[in-house]
Structure formats: C-alpha cells, structure tokens
A = this chain, B = another copy of it.
Amino acid sequence: MKVNILLFHDFETLDVFGSVEILGKIEEYELNYVSLGGGLIVSAQGASIMTKKIEPSSSDDILVVPGGRGTRALVNDSVFLEMLIVAVKHSNYCLSICTGSALLAKAGLLNGKCATSNKQAFSWVKSTNTNVKWIQNARWVVDGKYYTSSGVSAGMDMTLGFIRDRFDEQKALHIAKSIEYIWNSDNSKDPFANYE
C-alpha cells in the first residue's frame, strides 16, 4: 500500500517525521516522499529531504499533509492546491498534521466536514474556510477519509489512532511501545485547546 508524504518548503519537521516513524512500522506500507516538482525540499528546521515529483495514481492509499509556516504562502498557490485536490481524490485516506488542514480547507476538500488544526494558529486556519466544521477541543478529528490533527506532536497520536482504526488497538499499542512513546489515545482530550 502506497503512502505519499507530501513535502513543501518550510514544512514543520516533526509534523512529517512523527507520523512517518509510526507509518514506517507497518510492513505493508511503502513510504514515498513527494512534492509538487520533485527534488530537495527544505523543512522549517533546515533539513533537506529528497523527493520525487508527485504523480497521483489509482494505487495510492494514504496521503500525508504536514503543516508549518510554508502553508501561509501555499493557501494562495492555485497550482499547489489543484495538485492537492487531485492527490487527495486518488487516495483512500488523507492525514493532515498541524496547519496541513488549512491547505485541505482552502482547496475546498473539507467543506461540510469536521476538522481540527494547530491551536496556536487556529484563528488563521478557521479564516481559510468557514464552511468547515472546525473543532477546537480535539487532539485529532476523523471525518470519512480525512484525519486532521492538532499541532505538531498531535500528529503522532493521530497516526497511532489511524493504525488502531485500520488494524486494532493492540497493533497501535505495540508500535507506541516499540518507539517508547506514551500515546495520548483519547482524541477528545486536548490540553492545548485554548492555547491561542
């Protein structure tokens, strides 16, 4: 099963690699690092990651969309948003971390759906699309094929929740243990809900 991890300049490093660490423990998942144009993509923390040009296909299963300060420009980038729409439509599941949900919202993909995002940037994220049912008090939110998480580290909790939903609780707990991670497994408990 093909997992496409969508990178862009100034993505938040842990948004991606927290989720990747967990998805990488599932043997059936083949991780691909992709971007709009391919080549090296630099994170907000200066890590340069090699990517392939994204080429959505019917074999795609999971799309991972991080957030970070790079999203502030991308919500106004129609070429990026059109690519995102095609990539999401080809995927069975779409996981966004942090302000990655602002990109999905601006592309119109979350219209009428429940979603959450980074709590420090919540007002800005909400302003990108008022037709989304934004949930403030949630570590992560599931609506159909969309899993949206709160800021940065919440992406790890969500990804373990995704594994629980696709497989079972034992598999998620086993992965958490193998990376010595104390999983916050209840998505309704959000200690950062009123951070902004």
* A residues adjacent to B (C-beta < 8 A): 12-14, 16-18, 20-21, 24, 31, 33, 40, 44-50, 118-120, 150-154, 156, 177-182, 184, 191-192, 195
A133 to nearest B CB, angstroms?
A: 21
A138 to nearest B CB, angstroms?
A: 12
Chain B residues near A152: list those with CB within 8 A. Answer: 21, 179-181
Copies of this chain in its oligomeric complex: 2
Chain B residues near A195: list those with CB within 8 A. Answer: 177, 180
A44 to nearest B CB, angstroms?
A: 7
| Interchain CB contact under 8 A, B17 and A24 | no
Using known A-B contacts A154-B180, A192-B180, determine if residue A24 contacts B40 with beta carbons closer than 8 Å: no
A sample of 13 more A-B contacts (CB under 8 A), given A14-B17, A182-B184, is A13-B17, A13-B21, A16-B17, A17-B45, A17-B47, A24-B45, A48-B49, A120-B178, A151-B179, A151-B180, A153-B179, A154-B180, A182-B191
A196 to nearest B CB, angstroms?
A: 11
| Interchain CB contact under 8 A, A150 and B180 | yes
Using known A-B contacts A14-B18, A18-B14, A153-B179, determine if residue A33 contacts B47 with beta carbons closer than 8 Å: yes
A66 to nearest B CB, angstroms?
A: 12
Chain B residues near A150: list those with CB within 8 A. Answer: 180
A/B interface sample: 24 pairs, CB < 8 A: A13-B24, A16-B17, A17-B45, A20-B45, A24-B45, A24-B46, A31-B45, A33-B46, A40-B50, A47-B49, A48-B50, A49-B50, A50-B50, A118-B180, A119-B180, A120-B178, A151-B178, A151-B180, A152-B179, A153-B181, A180-B192, A180-B195, A182-B182, A182-B184
